[in-house]
Amino acid sequence: MERLAASYRLDYDVRARDYVSGGEVSSALRAILKQLSLPPDLVRRCCVACYEAEMNIIIHSFGGHMSIEIFPDRLEMIAQDSGPGIEDLQKAMQEGYSTASEEAREMGFGAGMGLPNIKANTDYFDIQTGKEGTTLTMKVLFLKKEGE
């Protein structure tokens, strides 16, 4: 039975190389999710996926946008940037693979665990990438149906 339910949206522009603001989106998301009666581990999974997607825009892209929508039964998150895209997607999904710049590595990024972590912490994960940009679509389900 489908009923019109409330949802809550968060929209954030994320700037390239803005390491100082890195983590602001996931912090805001955390503050929101803590006001819902969700199991702590779900909150953690949402925040990890959000943080890694946010940092990838900062570290690897020309800048982009995160939009998050929270429904009573799920979280949907889209991280979109305007390029340059992921050259080798298969490699990018491997644990430990990273093309992070020297500058980013010096700041402690570039462990190559971001995309694998996003995949591990979400229930649905899709990635579209090309020269014009990369789009990640992620979902975390709050209520799992029997057998899932």
Partner 1 sequence: MYYHSVTLDEEKCRGCTNCIKRCPAEAIRVRGGKARIIDELCIDCGECIRACPNHAKIAITDSWDLMDRFQYRIALPAPSLYGQFKNPDINRILTALLQIGFDDVFEVALGADIISHLTREEINRGDLKKPVISSSCPAVVRLVEIRFPSLLGNVLDLCTPMEASAMLAKDAAQKKTGLKREDIGVFFISPCGAKVTSVRRPIGVENSEVDGVFSLTSVYEKIASKVNHIEHPLPLSKASMVGVAWARSGGEAAGTMLENSIYVDGIQNVIKVLEEIELGKMEDLDFLEAMACVGGCVGGPLTVENNFVAQQRIKRLSERMQRESFVDKMTEQELVDEDKPDLERLRWSRSLERSNAMELSDDIGKALSMMQQIDEVLKTLPGLDCGSCGAPTCKTLAEDIVKGLATEYDCVFILKNKINDLAQELNNLAGKTPPVMGQERRKEL
Ligand X SMILES: Nc1ncnc2c1ncn2[C@@H]1O[C@H](COP(=O)(O)OP(=O)(O)O)[C@@H](O)[C@H]1O
Residues 6+ away with beta carbon under 8 Å from 96: 111, 112, 113
Reduced to 3 states (helix: H, G, I; strand: E, B; else coil), residue 29 is: helix
Interface positions, 25-84, toward partner 1 (CB under 8 A): 26-27, 30, 32, 34-38, 40-41, 43-44, 47-48, 51, 70-73
Q: Residue 54 binds which entry of ligand X, partner 1, Mg ion, none, with Cβ cut-offs from 5 to 8 Å by kind?
A: none
Candidates 5-13, 29-37, 66-74, 97-105: pick the segment binding ligand X (CB under 6 A).
97-105
Q: What is the DSSP letter of 114?
A: H
Question: Of 61, 80, 121, 122, which lies in the binding site for ligand X, with binding defined by CB under 6 A?
Answer: 61
Question: CA 23, CA 83: separation in Å to the nearest integer?
Answer: 20
Cβ distance to partner 1 smaller for residue 1 or 5: 5
Q: Residue 35 binds which entry of partner 1, ligand X, Mg ion, none, with Cβ cut-offs from 5 to 8 Å by kind?
A: partner 1
Q: Please, is 143 exposed, middle or buried when counting C-beta atoms within 10 Å of its C-beta (0-12, 13-18, 19+)? A: exposed
Place of tokens 């999710």: 33
Smallest distance, ligand X to C-beta of residue 32, A = 23
Give the interface with Mg ion as residue ranges (CB under 5 A): 56, 114
